[in-house]
Amino acid sequence: KQYVSRICCVGAGYVGGPTAAVIAYHNPDILVTVVDKNEERIRRWNSKHLPIYEPGLAEIVRIARDGSKGFRLPNEPAENDNADSRTPHGAYNRRNGPYSTEKHVHYRIPNLIFSDKVSESISAADIVLIAVNTPTKSRGVGAGSATDMTAFEAVTKEVARHAMPGAIIVEKSTVPCRTAEFIQKTVSWQLLSPKSLREEEPGQLMTSQMTNQRPGVYFEILSNPEFLSAGTAVKDLMHPDRILIGSSKTPSGLRAADTLARIYEAWVPRSRIIKTNVYSSELAKLVANSMLAQRISSINSISAICEKTGADVSEIAESIGCDPRIGDKFLKAGIGFGGSCFKKDILSLVYLAESLGLDEVGEYWRQVVKMNEYQRDRFSRRVIQRLNNTLAGKKITLLGYAFKANTSDTRESPAFEIIKTFLEEGPRQIAVYDPCCNPEVVKTEIKQLLKDRTALEEDGGPIAIHPNVYNACDHSDAILITTEFDEFRSTPAESNESHPSSQSSRLVDPRPFYDQPSPMDIFLLQKYLLSTAPAGRYPNDDPFKRYLPEPGCPSSCPDCSL
Ligand code: NAD
């Protein structure tokens, strides 16, 4: 049984940060360090304003990172706040969890650290989780579909140089099938038999991979893909429907899988921990995302038929969803999927199929991506059509910039592509508002993506990113709901005047629009929001904001003023 006292997670992004926080939260006797080469990101993880928004994340991070300073038991006096250092590290009581009220374990020791000291943290860890980004390659062989393994490979080399002999290396990132083999070659010094030496190409032993190895050092490689969804990351991590651990079938491989499984068993029922061979685990992640995306493209393709025939796609979804073989999840027609994962993972599957000579299989999956783009473009075209085929001199408002609700993740956001299409039409203004995204971050991103320094309103362009929903909608010719935030859906009756910033404050009732038979109309609300703005709130109080000041944050806080 391998004892684990330190875990290092490389990559403090949307997966690494929340995953490490939940592991630390449930394993208070293990020190979890999250490292990233991006110093600004680490600074934000160490501040009150985390670099990403996920419901419940701030609370979990605060408890694990700050110990008892991060929370207070009900009725606990404030003066206990600084007393956590008095409690020995092992004092955590598993029966009562981190909220133990037993006399001698009142305080929780911080066990989650965010740091930019990558190699130092790797060298101290019993388990190294690699959770760095693996985007689609943008140039070279396989550009547009193969996975760009630059960041992953760089970390693998760091691990090969610095990890403790016998440390367990875990692929958390989504990687192409057979990556474990590549890591194994990079990190482990294996004694090659004369036969296997003969099988190597001449000169291969001197590849850069070998220069990272240390004689006699061997690591086990596990695949443990992450299935969390943006917007519900904490819920998904706290109550996963499965934990997948792929390992080699050797005794030491199985032992390593057991060691990792024990970390999860702190809060996940054993029956939900599935152990497979390492390549099945790698491929299962790609297949899971591809199948989910395929469902969205399937229902979206049906919505196009509905619009021409008078059938109602939501009624169809409801009817077919009753069949347990189909199920009722992921059947909502809309403007197509976004996010950093679906598209890249399908394309990775396409590349894998094509590189194995399975062109028909590749083409089949590629069609899912094509249908997604078709649906999004169909929506933009429909909006332009409804506005008399011209946007010249008009103001269009997009409510929602994140790729889905309850997240600040904007990667591959359909809203951005829609903005790009509208720009061609020369509108007076494209106003954008998002309750979770920081306006300054959105501005920087749009400028970078458009490669246009004059696209934003302050630089003379038409795109205005509003921190306030009322200003965004003021005098708009069309208001489009581009992200399904609940805020854009509920009734004015629910509005709570006494707490202008509470999430129960509501602005409008767009339900009549949601009930339109066509999914395209769902997103088209004309000059409606502003007329129902509650008196006295416009223009300064915005009930929707979720990213801005923490209670008690000083006005000089650099992150509040972002
Ligand atoms: P991300 O871009 O948010 O975070 C990756 C982090 O890794 C960045 O902060 C980057 O600075 C850091 N990094 C890159 N190279 C590094 C290096 N050499 N040393 C140290 N740090 C380095 O990415 P993400 O969304 O967290 O995704 C990570 C992986 O998880 C990807 O493979 C993705 O496919 C997979 N995944 C993502 C999600 C999701 O919802 N975002 C869900 C499941 C799986």
Q: Is 330 annotated as a binding residue?
A: yes
Binned at pLDDT 50, 70 and 90, residue 191 comes out as very low
Residue position matching structure tokens 């293990």? 30
CA 175-285-156 angle, 5° bins: 25
Structure tokens at 328: 């009722």
pLDDT at 469: 80
Residues 283-319: tens digit of each pLDDT? 999 999 999 999 999 999 999 999 889 898 889 999 9
pTM, 2 dp: 0.83
Cβ neighbour number for residue 119 with a 10 Å cutoff? 12
| Mean pLDDT computed over 252-264 | 97
Interatomic CA distance for residues 345 and 285, integer angstroms: 8
Catalytic residue selected from 9, 177, 306, 341: 341
Structure tokens at 224: 């443990």
Nearest one of 212, 221, 115, 122 to 164, comparing CA atoms: 122
State yes or no: pLDDT of 551 exceeds 70: no
* Residue of 120, 133, 285 best suited for mutating to test ligand 1, as the one with most atoms within 8 Å of CB: 133
Contact 181, 141 (CB under 8 A): no
| Mean pLDDT computed over 531-547 | 43
Q: List the chain domain ranges.
A: 6-268, 285-376, 387-532
CA 376-354-278 angle, 5° bins: 100
The answer to which of 138-152, 326-340, 373-387, 495-509 has the lowest mean pLDDT is 495-509
Q: Do domains 6-268 and 387-532 have the same CATH topology?
A: yes
Domain 285-376 architecture: Orthogonal Bundle (1.10)
3-state secondary structure (DSSP) of residue 2: coil
pLDDT at 557: 67
| Residue 336 φ then ψ, to 5° | 100, 160
The CA R_g of the chain, rounded to the nearest whole Å, is 25
The answer to which of 218-222, 254-258, 356-360 has the lowest mean pLDDT is 218-222
Interatomic CA distance for residues 161 and 380, integer angstroms: 50
> Cis (ω within 30 of 0) for the bond into 539?
yes
| Mean pLDDT computed over 234-262 | 96
Q: Is 308 annotated as a binding residue?
A: no
Binned at pLDDT 50, 70 and 90, residue 546 comes out as low
Phi-psi region of 200 (alpha: psi -120 to 50; beta: other; left: phi over 0): beta
Residues 459-480: tens digit of each pLDDT? 999 999 998 787 888 888 888 8
6-268 has CATH 3.40.50.300 classification? no
Nearest one of 188, 197, 147, 142 to 165, comparing CA atoms: 188
Residues 129-186: tens digit of each pLDDT? 999 999 999 999 999 999 999 999 999 999 989 999 999 999 999 999 999 999 988 8
387-532 has CATH 3.40.50.2300 classification? no
| Mean pLDDT computed over 253-268 | 97
Residues with CB under 6 A from ligand 1: 10-16, 36-38, 41, 118, 131-134, 151, 154-155, 173-174, 226, 228, 230, 340-341
Binned at pLDDT 50, 70 and 90, residue 504 comes out as very low
- Sheet strands (E) in 370-513: 395-399, 429-433, 463-465, 478-481
Between 274 and 514, the more confident residue is 274
Contact 44, 57 (CB under 8 A): no
